[in-house]
């Protein structure tokens, strides 16, 4: 065989060879029942499980386009690392990377929907419904990213809801806090919960406040 043939074979099966050890580790964890539920929210005090990180890295290597979600996360995470202060009040807003990055991402999503729906240069009623739905969702996401804010003053937490109004919660009643790749969820013993985008200014400060609050609350 020629040298070029060997290069072609290596390029074809190389990624699969790299993935095999990862598959073996994941299979072992599944058999021994030590694998966490992938993608499930975890306690805010826990680190992301190593096996889940390995699997995400492997997926990025195996995919011909890498890991788009991870690339988008790096863009959204650009910006100020500290919360803003208004007197004694701490204000947490989405990072600049998320505020400015959400718009082109939504434009791309709308454009892709047009392209996907009109491959035959014809748009059916169902196609227009999907296009309008994606466009409406994109507009909502853009407004949400620019408008969202969370405020903490003493024992009170005020956060914007999905309907763009502000709601106040008593941190003394905080009972649980979860985190995943999309953001935080704070739950209170009165049954209320708060969803917070992951890419907010002062994310580490917010996490420290919530962890300390849980400790004080005996949770």
Per-residue pLDDT tens over the stretch 40-71: 788 898 876 655 566 666 656 555 556 667 77
Q: What is the CATH number of domain 81-94+148-219?
A: 2.30.29
Joined together, the tokens standing for residue 96 give: 């600049």
What pLDDT, on the 0 to 100 scale, is given for residue 31? 43
| Cβ-contact 159, 166 below 8 angstroms | yes
- The DSSP 8-state label assigned to residue 124 in this structure reads -
pLDDT of residue 65: 56
Q: One digit per residue, pLDDT tens: the chain, 219 residues?
A: 555 555 555 555 555 455 445 444 444 444 444 444 455 788 898 876 655 566 666 656 555 556 667 778 888 899 999 999 999 999 999 999 999 988 888 888 888 877 777 665 577 777 778 888 888 888 898 999 999 999 999 999 999 998 999 999 999 999 999 998 889 999 999 889 999 999 999 999 999 999 999 999 998
Domain ranges of the chain: 3-66, 81-94+148-219, 96-146
| Cβ-Cβ contacts under 8 Å for 49 (sequence gap 6 or more) | 36, 42
Q: Running DSSP on this structure, what letter comes out for residue 201?
A: T
> What is the reported pLDDT for 1?
53
């Amino acid at each position: 065989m020629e040298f070029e043939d060997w290069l072609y074979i290596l390029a074809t099966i190389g990624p699969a060879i790299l993935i095999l050890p990862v598959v073996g580790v994941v299979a072992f964890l599944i058999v021994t029942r030590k694998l966490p539920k992938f993608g499930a929210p975890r306690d805010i005090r826990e680190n992301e499980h190593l096996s889940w990180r390995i699997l995400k890295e492997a997926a990025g290597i195996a995919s011909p386009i890498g890991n788009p979600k991870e690339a988008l996360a790096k863009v959204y995470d650009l910006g100020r690392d500290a919360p803003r202060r208004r007197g004694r009040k701490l204000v947490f807003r989405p990072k600049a990377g998320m505020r400015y990055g959400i718009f082109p991402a939504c434009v791309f999503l709308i454009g892709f929907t047009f392209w996907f729906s009109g491959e035959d240069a014809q748009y059916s009623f169902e196609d227009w419904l999907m296009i309008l739905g994606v466009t409406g969702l994109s507009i909502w996401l853009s407004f949400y990213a620019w408008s969202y804010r969370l405020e903490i003053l003493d024992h009170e937490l005020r956060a914007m809801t999905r309907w763009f109004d502000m709601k106040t919660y008593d941190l003394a009643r905080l009972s649980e806090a979860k985190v995943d790749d999309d953001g935080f969820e704070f739950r209170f013993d009165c049954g209320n919960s708060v969803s917070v985008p992951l890419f907010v200014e002062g994310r580490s400060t917010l996490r420290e406040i919530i962890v300390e609050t849980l400790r004080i609350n005996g949770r």
